[in-house]
Structure 1
Amino acid sequence: MSFRTDRLGGAKVVPFMRRAPEAADRKPPLPVLIVLHQESSTPGRVGNALRALGHHLDIRRPRFGDPLPRTLEHHAGAVYFGGPMSANDCDDYIRREIDWIEVPLREQRPFLGICLGAQMLAMQLGARVAPHPQALTQIGYYPIRPTAAGRALCPDWPGKVYHWHREGFELPTGAELLAEGDDFPMQAFCAGNAFGFQFHPDVTYAMMHRWTTRGYDGLSAPGACARHHHFADRAVYDVAERAWLKNFVDGWLARRPVMAQAAE
């Protein structure tokens, strides 16, 4: 059964709060659940940011038989990464992953979906995922525009971010749009403590080399950027994207369930 946005209580996005330094001294940070979709996939720069904050990574690949936990009580949060498959595929592991997102939504734990992960989150919340009507893709760097809610949540958004996708998602009912784009209007959204990014702030320089080599056929798709533009644009835009990601990850994991704040 899909989790519906009306159970979020109509909460509006609020700015990230700074972590309390004393809280980090009381006990070690909980691990973060990492969900990957290929044997060779890595959590990239998101993993680096999490490790820098002291979190261990609990890496699981449901596609290859790894189970997902029944609760996130023993995790600081969960991140779903991208992959070449579609959220519309009928594979059992795709259905299980989408259904499992009900756990962090119900428990109000931090959840982050990147590209395919964002599309899975959107589907769990009842929104549609589909290719562009003109079969356009976004493969390379493309501009995004933060909304007022996005700027309030986390300042200093990069002007362009890295993408690699053929499908996009509608904004789920009750969710807050954080950033928009041109050919794919929905670029970032949140629903409570769950966030979805259509773009790829996780991609490292080494990952970009692998993707533009192994996924070379995608570079000829309508709307895709030529390989050399990926690296030329990275030299211009990556510093801002990397700094923004670091600030986002810290604030995202510092979020607490609404019910826990109400009890204080």
Structure 2
Amino acid sequence: MKPVLILQHLTQDGPAYLGHWLHDRSVPFEVFNTQAGEAFPAQVGGYSALAVLGGEMSANDPLPALREAERLILQALDSGVPVLGHCLGGQLMARALGARVVDSPRPEIGWQRLRIRSGAEARTWFGEREEAWVFQWHYEAFELPAGAIELAHSEACPHQSFAIGPHLAIQFHVELDEAKLHAWAGADDRRFKAVLGEPSVQSGTEMLRDAQHHLSGQQALAAHIYSRWLSSACA
């Protein structure tokens, strides 16, 4: 099998559980971290699938690496290489497909309840779940591109996931593992502090407390999503 291509925007926002899941199944993968000075590949042709990770920047920021990610997303969409976008990655998918990324109605940070819509496509990606607790960290959100099937929503954000054929965009962080959670729970940035106290924003202490109830369930959901994503991977 050709390796999976993973686009990483920030050193602190690595593949985490996605990397462990691929490694445990002996699926080869290559990670390119632009913050570490690694340029993204010019082509996706040598890869079986494409995953785009998150980042604290806006998808609308005029950063060359973001536009390169969008170019690779479109290449993958055109060539049938399945794409999975996590948070910022999902927003870049939406932008590449002509949809807007705008301020979320409310920021979502920490463990939030996801409502999964009915329908065959949602069951394909999320199983028989009607809801799930997932980890969020976003201030902006995507609108739906033309031809997309909406799969999930939350109380604070109407568009949490969309699919187009074998390609999936999600607004949340199913790649979270315990190490990433502990690093993020210690965040001390001004923007985060400014929204603490909103009902859709958890403190670091609350994130760690609720992980005892939700992290294993989210990883089971992630495993289902990753399996569906790679089921269409190029050999």
Normalising by the residue count of structure 1, what TM-score does the alignment of the two structures yield? Answer: 0.80
Matches within 5 A, 1:58-77: 58-77=30-49
> Is contact 2:151–2:163 with CA below 8 Å preserved after alignment?
yes
Alpha carbons of structure 1 residues 69 and 92: separation in structure 2 relative to 1, 3 Å: closer
Q: 2:156 maps to which residue? A: 183
Of 136, 139, 164, the match for 2:137: 164
Could you tell me which runs of 5 or more consecutive residues in structure 2 were left unpaired when the two chains were aligned. none
CA distance, structure 2, for counterparts of residue 54 and residue 74 of structure 1: 18
Root-mean-square deviation (Å): 2.0
Alpha carbons of structure 1 residues 103 and 91: separation in structure 2 relative to 1, 3 Å: same
Q: 1:195 maps to which residue? A: 168
Q: 1:246 maps to which residue? A: 223
Identity of aligned residues (%): 29
Instruction: Verify: 1:48 aligned to 2:25, yes or no.
Output: no
Alpha carbons of structure 1 residues 210 and 63: separation in structure 2 relative to 1, 3 Å: closer
Alpha carbons of structure 1 residues 162 and 156: separation in structure 2 relative to 1, 3 Å: farther
Q: Which letter maps to 2:201?
A: A
Normalising by the residue count of structure 2, what TM-score does the alignment of the two structures yield? Answer: 0.89
- 2:160 aligned counterpart, secondary structure: strand
Cα offsets for 1:147-181 (capped at 9, x unmatched): 12312443144521000010001111100111111
CA distance, structure 1, for counterparts of residue 188 and residue 162 of structure 2: 27
Of 171, 179, 183, the match for 1:206: 179
> Is contact 2:7–2:69 with CA below 8 Å preserved after alignment?
no
Once the two structures are TM-superposed, the CA of residue 40 in structure 1 deviates from its matched residue by 3.8
Q: Which letter maps to 1:183?
A: A
Once the two structures are TM-superposed, the CA of residue 73 in structure 1 deviates from its matched residue by 2.8
Once the two structures are TM-superposed, the CA of residue 183 in structure 1 deviates from its matched residue by 1.5
Once the two structures are TM-superposed, the CA of residue 64 in structure 1 deviates from its matched residue by 4.8
> Is contact 1:161–1:237 with CA below 8 Å preserved after alignment?
yes
Once the two structures are TM-superposed, the CA of residue 256 in structure 1 deviates from its matched residue by 5.2
Instruction: Verify: 1:122 aligned to 2:122, yes or no.
Output: no
Of 81, 84, 87, the match for 2:53: 81
Alpha carbons of structure 1 residues 215 and 255: separation in structure 2 relative to 1, 3 Å: farther
Q: Which letter maps to 2:211?
A: R
Q: Which letter maps to 2:207?
A: H
Cα offsets for 1:204-234 (capped at 9, x unmatched): 1111111121345415414311222212221
> Is contact 1:219–1:225 with CA below 8 Å preserved after alignment?
no
CA distance, structure 1, for counterparts of residue 19 and residue 185 of structure 2: 21
Of 95, 106, 109, the match for 1:139: 109
Alpha carbons of structure 1 residues 99 and 73: separation in structure 2 relative to 1, 3 Å: closer
Q: Which letter maps to 1:170?
A: E
Q: Which letter maps to 1:81?
A: L
Once the two structures are TM-superposed, the CA of residue 118 in structure 1 deviates from its matched residue by 0.3
In the comparison of the two structures, how many residue pairs are matched?
228
Once the two structures are TM-superposed, the CA of residue 202 in structure 1 deviates from its matched residue by 0.8
- 2:214 aligned counterpart, secondary structure: helix
Larger Rg: 1
Structure 1 runs, 4 residues or longer, greater than 6 Å off: none
Of 210, 221, 229, the match for 1:233: 210
- 2:27 aligned counterpart, secondary structure: coil
